[in-house]
Amino acid sequence: MRRKLVVGNWKMNGGRVANAELLAALKEAEPWDAAVAVCAPFPYLADTALSLQGSRMQWGAQDCSAHESGAYTGEVSAGMLAEFGCHFVIVGHSERRALHGESDQLVADKAKIALAHKLTPIVCVGETLAEREAGQTDAVVKRQLSAVIHTLGHCISQVVVAYEPVWAIGTGKTATPEQAQAVHAVLRAQLHAATEKSAEMLILYGGSVKADNAKQLFAQGDIDGGLIGGASLKAADFAAICKAAA
């Protein structure tokens, strides 16, 4: 049986004092039966690592460069993250795809370099509202994941996949448990065709997950936890979601 995973994505939020208070409150709420991690902005990763000493929670970054090193001002390499003990790195978040023009192949390249440095990439896929209304959901998420499968080959089993319908991120809307499960099942089938270890892989749901809908979402057969945005910034809400994943 797959152990649930809940990952908080702080996005471009937080501050040193607020982060310390949030992490202290989460440590007090431990332990949970689910695995838990937080992905903080780059400047706060070292503080996060120190704050989580003695905790079961892991930490990660929200992105990494597709390059090893070089003249890429403002970029942060997977090797740099690994040197600090980073565990997870989010790649292909819908905001990176939409606001920074990241292609399916670039996302796949980031996942590949993350794995090369022994980081676990959380590969995000998801459709826009227009794509869902046009009946293109399955085609879109399969295209996005296909690029990663093609690039990683048998190493695809080492990634975490996160389905995040773009229309449900930060909007207060969320896919119904049945809608989310349907897409997760499509992704599971695609992974099954690519690796014998598909049954062991984690597929997270991200899209306005809250304490009051988490339990129903996590009860679905192919939903293995959540990639949590806004609710991960409030200790009580995030702790309740982690508890719901038990």
What are the structural domains of the chain?
5-244 (3.20.20.70)
Is pTM beyond 0.75? Reply is: yes
CA-based nearest residue to 135, from 182, 190, 194: 182
The beta strand positions in the chain, using DSSP E, are 5-9, 35-40, 58-61, 88-91, 120-125, 160-163, 203-205, 225-228
Q: Which of 95, 102, 127, 164 is catalytic?
A: 164
Written as six digits, the tokens of 30 are 């431990």
pLDDT at 173: 75
Predicted local confidence at residue 7, as pLDDT: 98
- The pLDDT value recorded for residue 69 is 97
Residue 168 has a pLDDT of: 81
Spell out, as residue ranges, where the chain has pLDDT lower than 50: none
Active-site choice (67, 93, 95, 133): 93
Cite the annotated binding site for substrate by residue number: 9-11, 170, 208, 229-230
Q: Is 131 one of the annotated active-site residues of the chain?
A: no
What per-residue confidence (pLDDT) applies to 192? 97
The DSSP 8-state label assigned to residue 122 in this structure reads E
DSSP strands (E only) in 152-208: 160-163, 203-205
CA distance 124 to 162: 5
| Spatial distance between the Cα atoms of 183 and 100, rounded to a whole number of angstroms | 25
> What distance, in Å, lies between the first and last C-alpha atoms of the chain?
12
Binding residues are: 9-11, 170, 208, 229-230
164 is catalytic: yes
34 within 8 A of 225, measured Cβ to Cβ: yes
pLDDT for 208: 84
Strand partners, 162: 124, 204
Task: Tell me what pLDDT residue 167 has.
Answer: 86
